[in-house]
Amino acid sequence: MLQRKRPLVAGVLRRVLSDVFGIDHDPVVEVPPQRRLGDLASPCALHLARELRQAPRAIAERLVECLELPEGFERVTVEGPGYVNFHFARSRFAAVMIDAAPVVESGASDAPAKVIVEHTNINPNKAAHIGHLRNAVLGDVLARALRGLGHKTEVQNYIDDTGVQVADVVVGFLDLRDCSVADIEALPEPFDYVCWDLYSEVGRWYEGDPQRLELRRRTLHALEAGEGRRAEAGRLIARRIVARHLATMARIGVDYDLLTHESEILRLDFFVAAFEQLKETGAVRFEESGKNAGCWVMPLADSEEFQGLEDPDKVIVRSDGTVTYVGKDIAYQLWKFGLLGRDFEYAPFRDGPRRGSPLWKTGPAEPDAGDGGAERRPDFGRGARVINVIDARQAYLQRIVRAGLEALGHDGEARDSIHFAYEMVSLSAKTAERLGFSGDSQLEMSGRKGIGVKADDLLDQLEAKSRGEILERRAADGDGEAGEEVDLLARQIAVAALRFFMARATTTRVIAFDIDDATSFEGESGPYLQYSIVRARNIRRRLREEGLAQEVPGSRVATLPAGVWSDDLWDLVLCASQCQEVVERAAATLELSLIARHAVDLAQKFHAIYHRHPILHEQDADLRDARLAVTQVFERSLEALAEILGVPLPERM
RNA sequence: GCGCCUGUAGCUCAGCCGGAUAGAGCGGUGGAUUCCUAAUCCACAGGUCGGGGGUUCGAGUCCCUCCAGGCGCACCA
């Protein structure tokens, strides 16, 4: 809503600046820090003071005298050192807010263009930890924001089922523990927890005798070839772990459209196709001698962004003929844009929980599909924009992938290959110590070393804590039953706490994960948002019980006297009117914390108003309706933001 | 060595294109519950915005430099 008013104000100012002072100036329009100062303001008089050789306030006053008040505004004032401040006609603005959707489609102009978001991408060899949760929450919130803004969005989760990490667990089962494939199959859940321990155990086992690394190499080759007992074990492990990962993510409301498997990229020779292109265009060359003798490398020395590297060439194909990660990733990225000239085969995914829309995986179509093939397969790939949610440590590799597209002449697609980089999650000193790791400073998590907080453990802890809090409150109200409703509410609160914790952090900062901080239900937290909406809903429930109207129509709000809008009430309306531009800016800059912070902002304003402005017991009808209108606007706005954040909103707490 | 990121209250962090008195949460202190449930609210205390230069009418924000910390720069992913 507010985003539509800014150009109005800018236009009026530009016109009057031209008319009165004869200058061409593009005025900045911002929101003043306090509501009593106005709703939209421009510091243009300050900017122009030098050029016009006049005091800023004098310029501002002249502007106010001469300008034509734009539609929807009540007055213009000069404030502070010389700001020109515009004040909305509050009742009319609020009336529009009552009927307007807080977040609407704005990407409609490029509606057919699809955005592919890749996230989660956990190696299928161990349990997910809290670092993976940051990735998944960021990816999921981004996808929700893009969808909310009307972009066609496809979410992919890349499964590296043929890499060293899976190979190590295969070695762990087959060589270290002497299991058969059937033994692995028979292991009880939680299988991912078993692998978590085994994986770090294998790491230590290798250290005990470096000769054992030969087993890793042999297994890796078997996984890539896809044949034999080791490959069979690898497939089984990956399948079981992926099922666990999807179950963990389903707990917090994260889902996907497609699981892309590295094994399929190998099986279908995606890299062969990409390699042909790379050779044809001269993007790679064969090294006859030197450090990289026998390898195919991509030269980076000519590119400005790769200056100062120790080695200006990136190996794409090793001297033993195998392909590096970057090579495979270039092929995969080409496929995402529909530039590879090949496609996957697809099959419905049947090994795990499935939510709203059906989940698909890459792989041979299963002929024995028992459900009559009712599901129609979407058209995967061929994105116009590709956003890869990958931690900041991989920035260099992501740049090489983009350079690969550039080298092939796909400049546009290279520009639209976006690395959504975020910093990792480490453990706070206090939390590391509590978990038994030496805790003199922050500690980086490491799956390889078995250092970390497992995602499901954290969720269990959050659920247990919220259940405790609920029961405590219910007992205090003499309302002690603990049924399914309590379970559901405990889960909702846990999800809100976790998702908000991950979403509120700026992406460029390392999160020092502190267990007390993460499980806090007070202040800036997911439950704080939930509680604010519960209060709004309680007001409506009470109104219904009293037989009073639960909603006030926009037509009524438009006729309210201006005096009902105290600055604090009005401030919430204006804050709510910024949801659209906040979500747009968050999606455009990939700074999703903006959404979380705006949601807190709204909730804080509402909580404060709640105490100062009762509705049920207000006798003055105008005042009551204004307050109810604000409650309505608040509720819809926070609901819209919570939907994007994936924070569930319960009816009561 | 080169590159990227970070340094703001005791702790965790906001601070949009340079602009109005640098803001939250936690923790601390003191208050608010016959009221739409206190998972809330209000008040108070707490700041050399890492240091130093520069640009500007104006710098937490831009430029330079130094200091401190993190992360990258593989025929690992």
**Which of A561, A563, A574 is closest to A630 using CA atoms?**
A574
Instruction: Place A372 in a pLDDT band, splitting at 50, 70 and 90.
Output: very low
> Higher pLDDT residue, A253 or A436?
A253
Average pLDDT, chain A: 90
Which domain does A41 fall in, by range?
Answer: 2-88
A396 touches strand B (CB under 7 A): yes
- Asked if A543 and A621 sit in the same domain, the reply is yes
For residues A254-264, average pLDDT: 94
Q: What is the pLDDT of residues A476-524, one digit of tens each?
A: 777 666 688 899 999 999 999 999 999 999 999 999 898 888 899 999 9
- Asked if A478 and A549 sit in the same domain, the reply is no
The burial of A433, by beta-carbon neighbours within 10 Å (0-12 exposed, 13-18 middle, 19 or more buried), is given as middle
Q: For residue A26, give the CATH number of its domain.
A: 3.30.1360.70
Phi, psi of A40 (to 5 degrees): -135, 140
Q: What is the pLDDT of residues A50-108, one digit of tens each?
A: 888 888 888 899 999 988 899 899 999 998 888 999 999 999 999 999 998 888 888 65
Q: What is the pLDDT of residues A277-323, one digit of tens each?
A: 999 998 899 988 888 888 999 988 777 677 666 677 899 999 888 88
Dihedral angle of Cα A634, A637, A643, A647, to the nearest 10 degrees: -30
Task: Answer whether residue A70 is part of any domain.
Answer: yes
> Higher pLDDT residue, A475 or A198?
A198
The structural domain count of chain A equals 3
Whether A505 contacts A525, CB under 8 Å: no
Cα A117 to Cα A478: distance, rounded to the nearest angstrom: 48
- Residue that terminates a domain, selected from A23, A58, A88: A88
- Residue that terminates a domain, selected from A499, A518, A537: A518
Q: What is the pLDDT of residues A38-58, one digit of tens each?
A: 999 999 998 888 888 888 888
pLDDT of residue A111: 59
- Residue that terminates a domain, selected from A479, A494, A518: A518
pLDDT of residue A481: 64
Task: Answer whether residue A439 is part of any domain.
Answer: no
Residues 478-497 of chain A sitting with CB below 7 angstroms of strand B: 489, 493
pLDDT of residue A578: 95
Highest mean pLDDT among A9-23, A37-51, A570-584: A570-584
Task: Answer whether residue A288 is part of any domain.
Answer: no
Q: What is the pLDDT of residues A188-219, one digit of tens each?
A: 999 999 999 999 999 999 988 989 999 999 99
Residues 286-315 of chain A sitting with CB below 7 angstroms of strand B: 291-295, 307-311, 315
Check whether A543 has a pLDDT greater than 50.
Answer: yes
- Asked if A622 and A513 sit in the same domain, the reply is no
Q: Return the amino acid letter for A642.
A: A
**Closest protein CA to C1' of nucleotide B40, residue:** A607
Residues 522-551 of chain A sitting with CB below 7 angstroms of strand B: 522-525, 527-528, 531, 534-535, 538-539, 542
- Give strand B nucleotides closer than 7 A to any protein Cβ: 1-6, 12-17, 19-21, 24-27, 35-42, 56-58, 70-77
Cα A146 to Cα A166: distance, rounded to the nearest angstrom: 33
Check whether A548 has a pLDDT greater than 90.
Answer: no
- Asked if A534 and A633 sit in the same domain, the reply is yes
Q: How far is the CA of A227 from the C1' of B45 (A)?
A: 70
Residue A329: which residues within 8 A CB-CB, separation 6 or more? A397, A401
Task: Answer whether residue A160 is part of any domain.
Answer: no
Task: Answer whether residue A547 is part of any domain.
Answer: yes
Task: Answer whether residue A79 is part of any domain.
Answer: yes
Cα A635 to Cα A536: distance, rounded to the nearest angstrom: 7
Task: Answer whether residue A45 is part of any domain.
Answer: yes
Task: Answer whether residue A66 is part of any domain.
Answer: yes
- Asked if A459 and A558 sit in the same domain, the reply is no
Whether A447 contacts A453, CB under 8 Å: no
Cα A328 to Cα A522: distance, rounded to the nearest angstrom: 46
